[in-house]
Each structure stands twice: as C-alpha cells, then as structure tokens.
A and B are shown apart, each in its own frame.
Chain A
Amino acid sequence: MYVAVKGGETAIANAHRLLADRRRGDRNLPSITIDQVVEQLGLAVDRVMAEASLYDRALAALAVRQARGDMIEAIFILRAYRTTLPRFGYSEPVDTANMKVERRVSATYKDLPGGQLLGPTFDYTHRLLDPSLIADEAVEEPAVKEPGEHVMRVSDILDGEGLIEGDGQMPEGHVMGDLTREPMEFPMARDLRLQALARGDEGFLLALAYSTQRGYGRTHPFVGEVRIGEVEVELDLPELGFAVSLGTIRVTECQMVNQFMGSAKQPPQFTRGYGLVFGQSERKAMSMSLVDRALRTDEFNEDIVAPAQDQEFVISHADNVQATGFVEHLKLPHYVDFQAELDLVRRMRRDYDAANSGETAKEQREAAE
C-alpha cells in the first residue's frame, strides 16, 4: 500500500505566513522593539536566558518576540541558537561575595552587615491591578541614599561558629562535569545537578520545592539570604597568561539554610542548599536551593521517600526543552503507527466478540434446558 507523504508544503508555508501575521497583530499599532522588551519585560527576558542557559539579553528578547511571548518556545529558540556558536572556553567562577548588590534579604538575621536591602521587589505590593499603567502616567525617579557597608554573606556569619556546613566541596579528584558535553548519567554529582537545576523549568522546580515544604521530603528550610546583582565574568586568555573581564551579568543567588540533626559521623549543624540563576529570579533561585538540598540524600544518609529527593526523577524531567519536545511530538503524524494499532485492536475485538457470542449462546442453551 502507498502512504501519502507529500502535500503539506503549501499548507506549512501558509501556516507560517499566518503565524507571522498573527505575531505582528494589528498593523495600526506600533511594532514592539527588542529594546522595549529588554527594558519593560526584563523578567521574561531573564527567564528565557536562565532556562535556555544562554546569557544574552538582546537575543532572549528577540526570542520572546518571535515566540509571541510563549516562554518555552522562546527558550527552545534560544537553546537552538546556542548550538550554532563555537565554545571559546570556561570563565573563572563568578564571585558572588563581591556582587554589586541590588537586592539582598535575609530571613535568619534582622540586623546584619549590609542590612536588608529590598531593591526592586514585588514583595509588599498588594497585587492589585494598576490602572495608572494603562494611562502610561509618568514614573517617579527612584529615591537615593548614601550607600552603607559591604553586604556580607550570611553563610560567613554562621560559619564563624562552626554551626553550618561549608560552601560545598566535591570529593577529592573530582573532575567538573558539563551537561552540554557529556550525556546524563545517574547517580549524578552535585556540580552537574546544579547545572541541570540552573537551567531547569521554573514551574517544575517551584512545584518540587513546594512539595518538600508540604512534607514530601521535608528539609526545614530558612532563607539565609537571597541576593540579586551584577557579577564580573572573567575569561583566562592563554595568549596573555591572565584572566580579563568580559563585562558583567546579573544573577540571583539563594543560600538556603536547613536543619540537620547530625549523624554518627557528623555533629548536629545546619546544612545548605544552593541556588544560582541567570537574571533576576528569586522564585527560581529559592526553588533551586530547596531542590538542591533535597537531592543531597547520599551525603546525609537520608532515605529517599519523596519525588524531590529522587535525582533521576528530578533531573530527567527538569529540562522544559526536552519535555516539550517529547510531549508535543505526539501531535505530529503517527498515521502508520496508529493504523497498525487500529488493526490490532480490530483483530482483538473480533476474537473477543467471537468468544463472547459463543459464551452467550452457551448460556442461553443452558438456561433453556
């Protein structure tokens, strides 16, 4: 039998033409510019950069616009773009202790060096729709004040007493892994898990983090601190023999402090979960730190009793580009597969009906006798 495999080309071309039209929308309205997306939808841009795992505001804004605001589509587009570029190298690790802090809050210490800096936050807003934005009224300039002292890391405060574990060392001789270079393998070391979580889907990580709070792998968390700001990216230049700055990127870091009762080998102390995300996204950084801590079951001899503690489950399903690819591929033509299944079900149904009608006839005979 011959199966039609052609004929979609015109339809596809016209569908894409229609998509371009719908994307542009009403031609009487001005077209939105990339700069406008960067400036006014900055957190959408940040999310696309984080989950595409590619820091570039302009390209992420272009992706948002091209995807008509569909975040996962935009992430997919940007992730695909990165595969077209060569890799120049690995940066020096960014130094978040020297971040140019734009926001820093701690839930564990009220008065701490650097203070509680609220920054541009949605917290304490009433979440009421603001009609003044429709009228596009003029916006006040920000208030200013004399800057205070260096914003000290909360983990360094607790560290002085030895009541909290250190920043996180891999076993001796461990070679740092890179998900973009090697296939995933389980069990997965913490450095690779953090890379996967940093680009993981915000919604998925949020749900898992929430599940730990509701009792599915409880970790007794406190936000040691969340900080947002710019850090310098330095690249070692072999030609010169030293590292030079390439510029700055904005990141969000969360230090989650978790209770730990101690074990035979370890004294009771606070343990930690870590979150670091491109752009301004404390929901993601906090979720990441909760999930990071939940996944460290092997280090603390914890039983795996909940989904958030199961690294194969978490890491294998955190990537929304992979997830959307596999879920959405179901809508592509499966005509032949389905014909085969249909044929099978028809045959089974014939057998079933035949057996059943035999049964019924027998029963009727028995009843008559």
Chain B
Amino acid sequence: MMDAKLKQESPPDPARKNAMGLLARATLDELNAAWEALADKPDVHPVRGPETGLVMVRGRIGGGGDPFNLGEATVSRATIRLSTGEIGHGQLLGTDRQRARLAAIFDALAQRDGNSAEVEALLGRVADRLAQEERRKAEETAATRVDFFTMVRGDD
C-alpha cells in the first residue's frame, strides 16, 4: 500500500473519492458507533476547522450546456491529522461540524494500515443503507408510472 503522502498527490483516487462520498452521507449515529467500536483510537489533531461555510451550487443551462450559479448550500468541513501522520478531510452538506470532523478522522484512518477492516465495515453499512433507501424510493416512484392502454372505438 502506498503511504498517505504519496496517495494524496496522486491523480483521482476512485476508492478514496467513493469513501469520502459515503462518509459525507453517514449519519452522526453511524459515525459515533464506528468510533466507539474502534479498538485502537488514534490521537487526532485539528488542522482546519471543523467549520461551516457555503458552496455555490452550479447547474448547466438546458441541463448539459454551460454552467450557471444555481444557489448556495451550507457545507461543513474539517481537516485533521492523526498522530501517525495521515491527513484526513471531511466535507458534507449541512451545518453538522461534528459529522464533518468524524468523517475526516475516518478518511485518515482509511489511509492507515491496521484500521481498514473497521473503516470498511462503516463504509459498507452506509453504502448498504443508501442502496436500500435508493431502491425503496425507486420502487415507490415506479409504482406511479402510467401504463397507457388504447381504447378501441367505433363499431365492433
């Protein structure tokens, strides 16, 4: 496995990108439970935040054209450093700075050997929940699909 520093300088890292996306959607309960379950809790040093600010959300003209500014969203973010050196970033929609800090911790842990099973377990739980919620919504929407049928008119 690459060391944390090298990994950060590398171009798009699909595994980390995916993990950060899941951490952004983890609930406070999920994050807290995973933290409590950690056998070996690391020392965490704040680097930046946690803090709340705004991100200007952009859309595209016509859906796929040039970008325009749609409006802002609240975002909370945190950057932390583990005593073992790994840097973690957490960033998510909303004003929950506690979640952002925990997300940063798990982002850092994901880069450290030794904790990967616990981090994977958390990511797996979040991914399963999201997939279930998404599936449920898609099914509910599908039930409202119109099944057209054509009426036969005129003489038999």
Interface residues of A, Cβ cutoff 8 Å to B:
49-50, 53-56, 58-59, 82, 85-94, 96-97, 100-103, 110-111, 115-120, 142-148, 153, 155, 166-170, 174, 176-180, 190-192, 194-195, 198-199, 232-233, 235, 237, 239-249, 251, 253, 255, 272, 274, 276, 278
**Cβ contacts under 8 Å, A92 to chain B:** 58
B12, B93, B148: the one contacting A242 at CB < 8 Å is B12
Determine the distance from Cα of A144 to Cα of B135 in the docked complex, in whole angstroms.
10
Contact status B66-A239, CB under 8 Å: no
Q: Which residues of B contact A59 (CB under 8 A)?
A: 74, 95
Given contacts A142-B140, A240-B16, are A91 and B57 in contact (CB under 8 A)? yes
Determine the residue in chain B with the shortest Cβ distance to A165: B62
Is the CB–CB distance between B146 and A115 below 8 Å?
yes
Q: Kindly report which residue of chain B lies nearest to residue A289, judged by CB atoms.
A: B62
- Identify 28 residue pairs between A and B in the complex whose beta-carbon atoms are under 8 Å apart, listed by A's number: A49-B71, A50-B71, A55-B73, A55-B74, A91-B56, A92-B58, A93-B58, A93-B59, A94-B57, A94-B58, A97-B63, A118-B144, A118-B146, A119-B144, A142-B143, A166-B62, A168-B61, A179-B69, A180-B69, A180-B72, A191-B67, A192-B68, A195-B69, A242-B12, A247-B25, A248-B25, A251-B59, A274-B61
Q: Does B24 make an interface contact (CB < 8 A)?
A: yes
Minimum Cβ distance to chain B for residue A198 (Å): 5
Considering residues B10, B16, B69, which has the most beta carbons from chain A within 10 angstroms of its beta carbon?
Answer: B69
Partner of B69, one of A54, A102, A191, A237: A191
Taking a contact as CB atoms under 8 Å apart, the answer to whether A88 and B54 are in contact is yes
Residues of A within 8 Å of B11, CB to CB, are: 241-242
- Give the shortest distance, in Å, between B5 (CB) and chain A (any CB): 12
Tell me the minimal C-beta distance from A293 to chain B in angstroms. 11
Give the chain A neighbours of B46 by CB distance below 8 A: none
A170 in contact with B66 given A235-B91, A244-B21 (CB within 8 Å): yes
B31 within 8 A of A: no
Known: A86-B53, A119-B144. A54 touches B138 (CB 8 A): no
CA distance A96 to B60 in the complex (A): 9
A12 to B67 alpha-carbon distance, docked (Å): 46
Chain A interface mostly: mixed
Are B21 and A245 in touch, CB under 8 angstroms? yes
> Does B17 interact with chain A (Cβ within 8 Å)?
yes
Chain B hits for A242, CB < 8 A: 11-13, 17
- Contact A100:B73 (CB < 8 A) given known A115-B145, A176-B66, A242-B17: no
Contact of B71 with A198 in the complex, beta carbons under 8 Å = yes
Residues of chain B within 8 A (CB-CB) of A190 are 61, 68
Residues of B within 8 A of A233 (CB): 55, 57, 73, 93
Q: What's the count of A-B pairs with C-beta under 8 Å? A: 239
Do A96 and B55 touch across chains, with their CB atoms under 8 A apart? no
Evaluate contact between A237 and B73: CB separation under 8 angstroms: no
Q: How large is the interface on B (under 10, 10 to 19, 20 to 34, 35 or more residues)?
A: 35 or more
Contacts of B137 in A (CB 8 A): 100, 102
Q: Mark B128-151, 1 if CB is under 8 A from A, else 0.
A: 000000111111111111101000
User: CA separation between A155 and B61, bound complex, in Å?
Assistant: 12
B98 / chain A contacts, CB cutoff of 8 Å: none
- B81 on the A face (CB < 8 A): no
Residues of B within 8 A of A177 (CB): 69
Decide: B70 and A278 in contact? CB cutoff 8 A: yes
Q: Nearest 8 CB-CB pairs, A to B?
A: A167-B62, A168-B61, A168-B65, A167-B65, A245-B21, A191-B68, A53-B71, A144-B139
Contact at A85–B53, with CB atoms within 8 Å? yes
In the complex with contacts A103-B141, A117-B141, A176-B69, A89-B56 CB distance below 8 A: yes
Q: Is the CB of B138 within 8 A of A147?
A: yes
* A241 and B12 contacting across the interface, CB-CB below 8 Å: yes
Q: Could you tell me if B63 and A96 are in contact, using CB atoms closer than 8 angstroms?
A: yes
Q: Which residues of B contact A87 (CB under 8 A)?
A: 53-56, 72
Tell me if B89 and A55 are in contact (CB < 8 A): no
CB pair B142–A144 under 8 Å, yes or no, is: yes
Contacts of A54 in B (CB 8 A): 54, 71-74
Q: Measured between C-beta atoms, what is the minimum distance from B28 to chain A in Å? A: 13
A145 near B21: Cβ-Cβ < 8 Å: no
Q: Which residue of B lies closest to A118 (CB)?
A: B144
Who on chain A is nearest to B77 by CB? A88
From known contacts A191-B69, A199-B71, infer whether A148 and B145 are also in contact, taking CB-CB under 8 Å: yes
Chain B residues 77-108 with CB under 8 Å of chain A are 77, 79, 87, 89, 91-95
Residues of B with C-beta under 8 A to A103: 141, 144
User: Do A249 and B73 contact each other (CB < 8 Å), given the known contacts A94-B57, A274-B62?
Assistant: yes
